[in-house]
Amino acid sequence: MSGHLASALARLDAALFAMSPRLPQDAPTARMIVQLSAVDKAPQPPQERILEALRQRLRTAMLEDREPNHRDVKSAPWILWEGDPPAISFPGLFYRVVDLAIRSPRTLNHLIEAWLLNFKGQGVGVSAAGSEIQRLLTAVSNARMDSWRAAHGKYRIFDAARGPATLAAAILGDPEPVSAVLEAACLADQTRAVGNYMRAVQDEVLEKLPNELERPGAGTTLARACTFLMNGGSLRFAGSRTAVAKALCKPWLPETARSPGADVQREVKDFLVAHLGNPQLRPDSWSGAKEEAALIKRWMARASLSVFFELIAEHAYDQQWKYREAFWSAYLARGAIDDAWLALGSNIHASARANQELGDAFGRMAGGGGSQTVLLLRIGPLIFAEWSHNGSLRAWPYEQGPKLGQRTYTKSQILRPCLPFQQHRRDKDGLPHIHPETDWWQLRAAQLIRAHASVTIPASAWRVR
């Protein structure tokens, strides 16, 4: 090797060494490919005034049978299924958009976004447009469409008839987390998350959910459904409160001997109370779901009674309480208690148990009340008041008794004259809990309930064994 050649090779080696950090490396190249194939953040549609002007220009061009402006065709996807009239009805416009989308990835992306945002399963041209999007994804090789291709391959996203149901089934039943399902479907973006396509998916979820809640593994299915139904800290679609309540409660309406497991019942109750409000305090937010609100009230009554029984054990000294607990538990088990509400004394409402179980769903006794607690029950047209300590049982017609759901109660409200518990007896000071081992007070209370609420329970159901 000549000196000149060796020198040249040395200089070439040095140049290659100096250039090597600038040459593409495997990891950055891989990252670039991932970035190219990823679906960008969903673009926002132009402002309404811009879309309206676009609609007028395109409508005029189509009616005059002249070629529309190229830039207008690129923006046309945003008005195909939006506005009055939707531009899908303009003769020839949609296929101009499709022809442009073959050559323009941005136009194809806008077509996909507009289709998802304004999706209506039975809408004009929606199914045909979904089929065209599928064809375009096969025809174009742009790497930015890879994620949409994968999403369609897995969940049939652009099949207007099958896509929402396929994705709903995955949301409820796939082993992957719900967030991973939505990511794989390219629908986790906040704009897509509340578009019409996702509304159609939610409709399918709510349609499937009642049957799924009656099968083994209902707790897991419920958790997945609740995760999907939320977007951030609130319901995905605020206007769907009634539909959500109906789907979650349907398996147990009309209420029969079959009840959900304790965990499922608690999760359904807690979810609906968190997102629709306590039906005892916010009945208006349950408009259109009165039967469901009544069911949740009955479930909340069980929670209130449970807390009441436990608080009695901790703070009261009534040796006869086991008989009272057995009596009301029997009516609760028969579904006779329509509603319940607690008024807590000052020593009770600050307790950890009350806070954990009730949150803010209770009232307080004015003036403190100490360790005393009052349990208010509604059975049909009757209101009952039970004291945690040695107080008489009282009952009133619904219109005359203390109102459930109030924040504050006074002793005078609870101790007001009430219905007599014995036939021909004029005593309006309530029923003392005496001789419980012989059913003395229980039989008189049961007689009153039977006479006014037409609820009959055999004595064997409430007897302490």
DSSP string covering 337-376, please? --EEEEEE-HHHHTSHHHHHHHTT--EEETT--TT-EEEE
What tens digit of pLDDT does each residue of 12-24 get?
444 443 444 433 4
Beta-bridge partners for 385: 376, 394
User: Considering only 7-11, 142-146, 156-160, 276-280, which range has the smallest mean pLDDT?
Assistant: 7-11
Separation CA 48–CA 79 (nearest Å): 10
DSSP per residue, 370-416: TT-EEEEEEETTEEEEEESSS--BEEEETTTSPPTT-SEE-HHHHSS
Q: Which of 7-16, 159-168, 282-291, 422-431 has the highest mean pLDDT?
A: 159-168
Separation CA 233–CA 215 (nearest Å): 28
pLDDT at 373: 84
pLDDT at 14: 46
Query: By percentage, how much of the chain surpasses pLDDT 90?
Result: 63
pLDDT at 444: 94
pLDDT at 353: 54
What tens digit of pLDDT does each residue of 81-108 get?
999 999 999 999 999 999 999 999 999 9
Peptide linkage before 164 cis (omega within 30 of 0): no
DSSP per residue, 278-326: -TTT-GGGGTT-HHHHHHHHHHHHHHHHHHHHHHHHHH---TTHHHHHH
Mean pLDDT for 228-250 is 95
Residue of higher predicted confidence among 354 and 122: 122
Mean pLDDT for 360-365 is 83
pLDDT at 389: 72
pLDDT confidence bin for 259, thresholds 50/70/90: confident
* C-alpha dihedral, 62 to 64 to 67 to 69, nearest 10°: -70
221 membership: H or E segment, kind and range: helix 218-229
Q: Is the pLDDT score of 4 beyond 80?
A: no
Secondary structure (H, E, C), 241-286: HHHHHHHHHHHHCCCCCCCCCHHHHHHHHHHHHHHHCCCCCCHHHH
pLDDT confidence bin for 360, thresholds 50/70/90: confident
What tens digit of pLDDT does each residue of 283-341 get?
899 999 999 999 998 888 887 888 777 777 665 555 678 898 899 999 988 889 999 99
pLDDT at 39: 56
Which residues in 407-427 are b (16+ Cβ under 10 Å) and which e? Answer: eebeeebbeeebbbbeeeeee
Q: Which residues have a Cβ under 8 Å from the Cβ of 143 and sit 6 or more positions away?
A: 33, 36, 37
Query: By percentage, how much of the chain surpasses pLDDT 70?
Result: 84
pLDDT confidence bin for 115, thresholds 50/70/90: very high
* DSSP state for residue 423 in the 8-state scheme: T
Alpha helices in 38-162 (DSSP H): 48-63, 70-75, 93-103, 105-117, 126-139, 146-155
Separation CA 123–CA 101 (nearest Å): 21
pLDDT confidence bin for 346, thresholds 50/70/90: confident
Average pLDDT along the chain: 86
Q: Which of 9-18, 204-213, 312-321, 380-389 has the highest mean pLDDT?
A: 204-213
pLDDT at 354: 54
> What six digits make up the tokens of 269?
């109750």
Q: Is the pLDDT score of 237 beyond 60?
A: yes
pLDDT at 1: 45
User: Considering only 4-18, 20-34, 183-197, 207-221, which range has the smallest mean pLDDT?
Assistant: 20-34
* Burial of 368 (C-beta count, 10 Å sphere; 0-12/13-18/19+): exposed
